[in-house]
Each structure stands twice: as C-alpha cells, then as structure tokens.
Amino acid sequence: MEGNLKPAVGELLIEVQDLAKHYGPIRAVDGISFEVRRGDVLGFLGPNGAGKTTAMKMITGFVEPDRGRVRVAGHDLADESLEARRKIGYLPETAPAYGEMTVAGFLEFVAEARQVGNIAAALDRVVQAAALGRVVHQTIETLSKGFRRRVSLAQALIHDPEVLILDEPTDGLDPNQKAVVQELITSLSPGRAIVLSTHILDEAERVCNRALVISQGKILVDSTPEALIAQAPNHNVMRLVLEPTALIELMNTLDGKVWCDRVERLSETTLDIYPQHGENHLGALMELTAGLEIHSIHLQEGRLNELFRDLTRGVEA
C-alpha cells in the first residue's frame, strides 16, 4: 500500500536499500527500503517487535545487517562507517549514559569522541536546547527518567548532526516535557533528516511529515500522516443529531446519493454518514439538510491509531 509521498525536494541524506536482519528463525527486519531527505521528519510507526529498533540499530551502524545497505549523507555505512557515523546523532531506545559521570562530563566525553571543535560552546547549546541547566553538574545516576532521556537527546545533538535517529524520544517524559521535546524536534527539522520511532500516533501527526508503518519487519505504508489519516476508517464521517422525523426523511434522501457510501443509525436521533473514499462532502450534506430540524453536525477526523490497528492487526493475524 503506497501512499501520497511528499515531493522530494531536499538533499538525500539517508538511503536504505533492501535492509534485512534475522535472529534465528525470526525476521526482525525483512528487506526494507526507503529514503529520507533534508527537511524530512520520518516517523517509524509499528507495534512492539515490528522491527523499528533493529532497523534504527542498523542505520546507526550498531548492528550489522544480513543483507542490504545504508548510505548516510553519501557515505556507505559498510565501507565508510566512521564518516557515516560522524553525520548521525543517535538517541537509543534505552537512553543509555554513564551513570557515575556528571551531565557536563558525559556531554564533554561525547563531544571529544565526536571531535567537536568548540566543546564549551556545543555544551552550552545542547544544555539550553534540552533544558538541562538545573542538573548539569549532577551525576546522571541521580537524575529522573525524564532528565536522563533529555541528557541522551543532548548527546545526540552535541555535534549539530545532519541526520538524527531518535528511538522513542519522548518515552518516559511527562506531558509538558513531551511537548517541549516535540517542539525541539520540529525546530531542528529544517536543516536535517530526522527519523524517529514512536508508539504515540498523535506525536507522529504533530511532528512528522512522513510516516512509515512497519510490522513484522516489513514496510506496510510509506506515506504522510495526512494521507494516512485520510485513509482512516472514520475520516470525514458526519455525525448528525436531529429530530426523529427529520432523520427518517434524510435517510430516504441519502439513498441513491453517489457520494454516500453507507449510513449508520446509532439511535432515533443520531446518524453517522460515511462518505465515499473518505472525502469531505459536508457541503453536499448541508444542501440536503436545508429545511430539516438539525441539532448538530460534527465532521469527524480520521484517527491514525484506527488505521494503525487495521493495518497491523491484518499482518499479525
């Protein structure tokens, strides 16, 4: 199922071709291919065990693929691993960090390993971006889960990378912190290619301009969140609350209308109208209901999680 891809405008920064990894009989990643351009924020969506994390581990060079290749900013990960890794900032799923080090000490170590020129300036920049000022001299083992994740995000940004790979970047954060990190990701996106995995579909809607649904190691959909929402079962469904007599009259009128896929009567006074192909036919409905006693009309937006459930349930079955 191929969706409506956004026009490719930015420079190609990540190329993944036929990437595969097996663990014994389990196909963790089964021949996936995709590209990410500068300015793209690609959301990896999928249930637990779908292969998102394994794919990210291969893109960052931690796990060697059984098959396929990855190019980062023009560097093949197999042949020019160091050059490719220099271009990547990576936040692993578990947000690992050396617990006995202070936040500043840890970030300095990562900056040194990444051969950052002005370490003090880079430190100031990421401490500010990840709002770590209050804990910068604290040892990491004494920090809350939310702060640890932000420390890990800060290390991923220390060298101002062109490519960001973020595995569950907002996992463990409270709603306020989630919003801050999502805003940070959005603000970082113009000059970079960002790949993030998430279970929170609202987050994908909010932050990503592309969504890639993975299940059992395969890509099911490569599309935009908007296009995915349009395919969701309840997209543009119109819910009307009206007088019982008006409801009967409307149902009779709707019969035979090409744009109306089906009608579902929920009660004596409530009706759901499903349009053909999830298109918006609110205007046509307003014309039909002129003169009827209507209490309310509500146009529903498709929810990504409904489509996500439909897609992945089919594969898992």
Partner 1 sequence: MRRFTGIKAVFRREFKAYFSSPLGYVYIVIFLVASGFLTLSRDFGRFLELRQADLSAFFNYLPWLFVVLVPAVAMRLWAEERKSGTVELLLTLPVTLEGAYLGKFLAGWSFLGVSLLLTWPVAYQAARLGDPDWGVVLSGYLASLLTAGAFLAVGMLFSALSRNQVVAFILAVAASVAFLLLGLPQTLETIGNHLGGYVEQLFASISLVDHFEALSRGLVELRSLVFFFLFTVAWLASGMLVLDRTRAA
Provide the binding-site residues for partner 1, judged by CB under 8 A.
57, 60-63, 82, 85-86, 88, 90, 92, 94, 96-101, 105, 109-110, 112-115, 152, 155
Q: Which is nearer to partner 1, 57 or 281 (CB)?
A: 57
Smallest separation (angstroms) from partner 1 to the CB of 194 = 16
Give the position of tokens 């890509």. Answer: 219
Q: Which is nearer to partner 1, 101 or 241 (CB)?
A: 101
Order of strands across the sheet that contains 270-275: 260-265, 270-275, 238-242, 294-299
Smallest separation (angstroms) from partner 1 to the CB of 85 = 5
Contact 119, 111 (CB under 8 A): yes
What is the rounded CA–CA span in Å between residue 169 and residue 18?
Answer: 26
Q: Which is nearer to partner 1, 87 or 192 (CB)?
A: 87
Smallest separation (angstroms) from partner 1 to the CB of 26 = 14
Q: Which is nearer to partner 1, 109 or 274 (CB)?
A: 109
Beta strands in 160-203 (DSSP E): 163-167, 193-198
Q: Which is nearer to partner 1, 34 or 106 (CB)?
A: 106
What is the rounded CA–CA span in Å between residue 43 and residue 90?
Answer: 15
Smallest separation (angstroms) from partner 1 to the CB of 60 = 5
Strands 238-242 and 294-299: antiparallel
Order of strands across the sheet that contains 210-215: 88-91, 163-167, 193-198, 41-45, 210-215, 218-223
Smallest separation (angstroms) from partner 1 to the CB of 155 = 7
